[in-house]
Amino acid sequence: MTALLKIGLVSVSDRASQGVYQDQGIPHLQSWLERALNTPVSFETRLIPDEQAEIEATLIELVDRHQCQLVLTTGGTGPSKRDVTPEATLAVAEREMPGFGEQMRQISLHFVPTAILSRQVGVIRKNSLILNLPGQPKAIQETLEGVKDAQGKVLVKGIFAAVPYCLQLIDGIYIDTDPAVIESFRPKSARR
């Protein structure tokens, strides 16, 4: 079965890209997406340093050349001088989607008070959605899935609940998720 959805995964880390330690962002993201999606998917992965020009070039390559409908970055969204992922993302954007960054910070504040320091953004470039996720696997999963109680009931929806409908509006692609991992939301008029 050929892939219906193409996803770019970009880990932005000086030390991981230099081999100082092994990147955990891409493997965690890919594993989570394989569990969450009920749609054939293929991945383009990149591990790059915190260099704005390289981040911009990578995002452009994944969207323009590889035609990834969704690009997820991990890392480089804090307040330190080397954290330039949001700047690179905004530089290649055609339109901003501020709700994604707002919701990621809202979710993360349930877990750590330093979530307010995060600068994640969501943007559209051509027919693609680009989202900056946190750098740590635990925080990535929390922002994607949301806040759950001890029984697993969702108290605050994760950002990925809105991704399938957003991609449908941008590109016309229809994807769905496994509700056991994340229940996607779309209006009744947009369901198939």
* Token output for 79: 């307040």
pLDDT at 1: 54
Residue 1's Cβ-side half-sphere holds a number of Cα atoms within 13 Å equal to: 8
Percentage, residues of the chain above pLDDT 70: 98
What average pLDDT does the segment 15-21 reach?
Answer: 82
Query: Are 127 and 171 a contacting pair, CB within 8 Å?
Result: yes
Torsion of CA 75, 152, 39, 27, to 10 degrees: 30
pLDDT at 152: 87
pLDDT per residue as tens digits for the range 61-98 = 999 999 999 999 999 999 999 999 999 999 999 999 99
pLDDT at 7: 98
Query: Are 66 and 35 a contacting pair, CB within 8 Å?
Result: no
Residue matched to tokens 């990149």? 46
Query: Are 44 and 79 a contacting pair, CB within 8 Å?
Result: no
Angle between helices 98-109 and 137-145 (to 10 degrees): 110
pLDDT at 3 over 80: no
How confident is the prediction for the chain on average, in pLDDT?
A: 94
Residue 38, C-beta contacts closer than 8 angstroms, at least 6 positions apart: 175, 176, 177, 178
What average pLDDT does the segment 151-180 reach?
Answer: 94
- List the domains of the chain with CATH numbers: 5-190 (3.40.980.10)
pLDDT at 55: 98
d(CA 176, CA 192): 10
pLDDT at 2 over 70: no
Strands 128-133 and 122-125: antiparallel
d(CA 50, CA 42): 25
Query: Are 72 and 80 a contacting pair, CB within 8 Å?
Result: no
